[in-house]
Amino acid sequence: MSLPPDHPSRSFTANSYLRACRLQPVDRVPVWFQRQAGRSLPEYRQVRGDGSILRSIEDASLTAEITMQPVRRYGVDAAILFSDIVVPVNAVGFKIDVVPGVGPTAEQPFRSKEDLNRLRPLEPDIDTPYVLDAVRLLVEQLEVPLIGFAGAPFTVASYLIEGQPSRNHARTKSLMHSDPNLWHELMTRLSDISISSMRSQVLAGASAVQLFDSWAGALQPVDYEEHVLPHSRRVFEELADLEVPRAHFGVGTAEILSLMSEAGADVVGADWRVPIDEVRRRVGSKTAVQGNLDPAVCLADWPVVAEQTRRVLKAAGGKPGHIFNLGHGVLPETNPAILEQVVELVHTEGLNPDLLAT
Amino acid sequence: MSLPPDHPSRSFTANSYLRACRLQPVDRVPVWFQRQAGRSLPEYRQVRGDGSILRSIEDASLTAEITMQPVRRYGVDAAILFSDIVVPVNAVGFKIDVVPGVGPTAEQPFRSKEDLNRLRPLEPDIDTPYVLDAVRLLVEQLEVPLIGFAGAPFTVASYLIEGQPSRNHARTKSLMHSDPNLWHELMTRLSDISISSMRSQVLAGASAVQLFDSWAGALQPVDYEEHVLPHSRRVFEELADLEVPRAHFGVGTAEILSLMSEAGADVVGADWRVPIDEVRRRVGSKTAVQGNLDPAVCLADWPVVAEQTRRVLKAAGGKPGHIFNLGHGVLPETNPAILEQVVELVHTEGLNPDLLAT
């Protein structure tokens, strides 16, 4: 299907984020920050309260306000919906919450075939109407594109199987290796849910989507290729007809970047471990790249942050198809004034021939 | 200095682990497992109790027994001393404990220049006599070489600064970037402590050493090169005169493997994320490689484990200078019977031309 003529994505023809996603020339390097809406902002802490994010986002106007905050403050080139990757699976009844200070936590983790029954298809209008209400509220107000998102099937599966954030993803890998049929069924259901969620966000007005496979880098390439890539590829294929840019992100993905690019996204984001020119080499010339300043660098004083921001810009070389971002989410202890300066620097110096020549 | 003529390392001329470390031909591929002595073994759980490892290892005969257990059970080609990387810093008075189920925990983390006073030089004979007693007990009994070890300055610094295990090492990186002079002083002191500890273990009878820089892979290459590599290089240089093999290990090190090899170790170990033939390419032909089966694979049934073990062996190609190991420590939930089978397979098939030709 094609989006209607009045879809918001059609109004941002000059927006540098959308243009960079499509490898088109830009008049400045676009920048946004993963987890730009969040605890680093005093205005966020003021409105958000202490409870689970899953309760907060049921209030669409609060979601819209939180999503807008970093756009107002930083002048970034895109907004990203304030939400969480476990929202859809919780909404269909899996029962997983986001415990403040801990992360996604399931009292009854995924263990056997019977647990598939807790993962029926998502009906976005019925299961997550507040998400779509927030998208509609936002696109009325925003002067930049809104990025919708979902968790990738592997990373969501990891939370469901481990029951909590995990360092080694041992149970997840164990299920993958021990029961590949069940693994495949689980990944298929989670892919369906991610597809439905992202489609609904775009139809409600989002101008791009990002699939977060944050923990895919825990896998060796051969396991990623066999057990994850086919599912992520299907997610992107099922969104292709919408004709909005599709981005794909994970951390620690050095050795799977080229495989990730085979999943078919328009943009691949990477963490700080691989210099961005090398990221580009690995994903190929038909894919835009996003990143990749180490978020921990932003805890330092400005001269250090400036130097490392310039290093990323120089490595990107001012070529089309680079979206500046952090290599992972903004750390809660980050000083927002530093991120304001990063945006200013990226915008003013990102295409500066003198910088790029040094 | 040279080791005395009766040093244990001189008696293992036919040992495949020591030979592989030196890139010499072997009659079978050597194998040992990181964290082979530990909770995966019922005989370990029986003797160990529930308290901090720092208390347990004060009993040298218990340490020796625990170190011997996997050698007896698996027939591995090397033993590694049962200890912890925070033992020396705790012994000089920093006050850091290993909390069961949590990891290294410091009530008063490293915060400022004054904290350097809590890191005086290590006097192994006085500060950790039980470690050396255990080494001496072990070399009397062992029929394979004993590997001594220490934490690398970066990884130990991370524990001291974060105060507990950390996912993003934000405070550590923040100190590194914000106060490079203090960082350098801290790294120098920690390097001195690691050097003293490993020297003393070798002089007491250990036949090899391994420097664990488990979390160095959290750094971007440019930060590793500037803030970590010079210190790790000094550690290896200061041990060179002992003429025992020196190994170097971290996880998530894909992009820093070639830099790590510049630190000068004889062996570089890597996790499962980079195929072992690619590890070898990155560290260069003068350095042996160690690894790199994903420990989580060992939770699967034997056919899966066998297939992936063979994959590592094939990638290593039977060339001199490969020590089979896991890509990180044995997971506590591992079935020891599986590791027994891994050892058997590595020993019987590792140099099999039919396997290597497939």
For residue B267, the model assigns a pLDDT of 98
d(CA B289, CA B269): 6
Number of inter-chain CB pairs under 8 A, A vs B:
96
- As a whole number, mean pLDDT of residues A202-214 equals 98
Q: How many CA atoms lie within 13 A of B300 on its CB side?
A: 23
Assign residue B51 a region (left: φ > 0; alpha: ψ between -120 and 50; beta: otherwise): beta
- Residue spans of the domains in chain B: they are 8-18+32-279
Q: Alpha-carbon torsion B177, B183, B187, B190, what sign?
A: negative
Nearest CB partner across the interface for B173, out of A169, A170, A297: A297
Confidence label for A167 from pLDDT (cuts 50, 70 and 90): confident
Query: Which of A162, A214, A274, A294 best tests the B interface by mutation, with the highest count of B CBs <10 A?
Result: A294
Residues 6+ apart with CB under 8 A from B251: B214, B215, B217, B271, B327, B328
Distance CA B344, CA B346 (A): 6
Q: Degrees (nearest 5) of the Cα angle B258, B260, B263?
A: 115
> What is the CA angle B109-B112-B115, rounded to 5?
65
In chain B, what residues touch A275 (CB-CB under 8 Å)?
Answer: 220-221, 255
Q: Work out the mean pLDDT of chain A and round it to a whole number.
A: 96
pLDDT digits (tens, 9 = 90+) for A270-327: 999 999 999 999 999 999 999 999 999 999 999 999 999 999 999 999 999 999 999 9
Compute the residue count for chain B. 358
Residues B21-62 pLDDT 10s: 999 999 999 999 999 999 999 999 999 988 899 999 999 999
- Angle between helix axes B153-162 and B170-178 (nearest 10 degrees) is 110
Determine the topology of domain B8-18+32-279 in CATH. Answer: TIM Barrel (3.20.20)
pLDDT of residue A91: 98
Mean pLDDT, range A164-190, rounded to an integer:
95
Q: Which residues of B fall within a CB distance of 8 Å from A259?
A: none
Q: Among residues B28, B39, B281, B311, which one is catalytic?
A: B39
Q: Is A259 helix (H, G, I), strand (E, B) or coil?
A: helix
CA distance A355 to B5: 60
End-to-end CA distance of chain A: 47
A116-145: per-residue pLDDT in tens?
A: 999 999 999 999 999 999 999 999 999 999
Q: Which residue of A has its CA nearest to B305?
A: A177
Closest CA to B60 of B117, B161, B118, B137: B137
Whether the predicted pLDDT of A1 surpasses 80: no
pLDDT tens digits for A149-164? 999 999 999 999 999 9
Q: Show the tokens assigned to B197.
A: 């500890």
CA distances from A336 to A157, A302, B7 (A): 33, 12, 59
Pairing of strands A246-249, A267-269: parallel
Which residue reads 């750390």 in tokens? Answer: A331
Q: What is the pLDDT of residues A317-329, one digit of tens each?
A: 999 999 999 999 9
Ranges in chain B, pLDDT < 70 = none
- The answer to whether A239 and A266 are in contact (CB under 8 A) is no
The CB-side HSE value for A167 (13 A sphere, CA atoms) comes to 14
Of A260, A207, A203, give the one whose Cα is nearest residue A236.
A260
Mean pLDDT to the nearest integer, A30-50: 95
Q: Considering Cα of A324, then A330, then A334, then A335, what sign does the dihedral take?
A: positive
Look at B297 and A177 and tell me if their CB atoms are within 8 Å: yes
Asked if A268 and A247 count as a contact pair (C-beta separation under 8 A), the reply is yes
Pick from A223, A273, A331: CB nearest B220: A273
Torsion-angle region of B228 (φ positive above 0: left; ψ -120 to 50: alpha; else: beta): alpha
Per annotation, catalytic residue among A84, A192, A213, A266: A84
Dist CA A163 CA A111 (whole Å): 10
A299 contacts in chain B (CB < 8 Å): 170-171, 173-174, 177-178
| pLDDT at residue A267 greater than cutoff 90 | yes
SS3 of chain B? CCCCCCCHHHHCCCCHHHHHHCCCCCCCCCECCCCCCCCCCHHHHHHHCCCCHHHHCCCHHHHHHHHHHHHHHHCCCCEECCCCCCHHHHHCCCCCEEECCCEEECCCCCCCHHHHHHCCCCCHHHHCHHHHHHHHHHHHHCCCCEEEEEECHHHHHHHHHHCCCCCCCHHHHHHHHHCHHHHHHHHHHHHHHHHHHHHHHHHHCCCEEEEECCCHHHCCHHHHHHHCHHHHHHHHHCCHHHCCCEEEECCCCHHHHHHHHHCCCCEEECCCCCCHHHHHHHHCCCCEEECCECHHHHHCCHHHHHHHHHHHHHHHCCCCCEEECECCCCCCCCCHHHHHHHHHHHHHHCCCHHHHHC
| Residue A50 pLDDT level (bands cut at 50, 70, 90) | confident
Q: Which of A118, A104, A10 is nearest to A54 (CA)?
A: A104
- My answer on whether omega of the bond before B292 falls inside 30° of 0, hence cis, is yes
Contact A273 B254 (CB under 8 A): yes
- Average pLDDT over every residue of A40-69: 95
pLDDT, residue B84, reads: 97
Nearest residue on chain B to A301, judged by CA atoms? B178
Tokens of A258: 């080229």
A296, B255: Cβ pair inside 8 Å?
no
Cα–Cα distances in angstroms (integers) from residue B175 to residues B110, B250, B324, in the given order: 10, 21, 36
Instruction: Give dist(CA B94, CA B91) in Å, integer.
Output: 7
| Order of all β-strands in the sheet with A79-80 | A79-80, A146-151, A208-212, A246-249, A267-269, A288-290, A322-323
Q: Check CB contact under 8 Å for A273 and B255.
A: yes
Distance CA B197, CA B62 (A): 20
Pairing of strands B103-105, B97-99: antiparallel
pLDDT computed for residue A357 by the predictor: 86
Pairing of strands A267-269, B79-80: unpaired
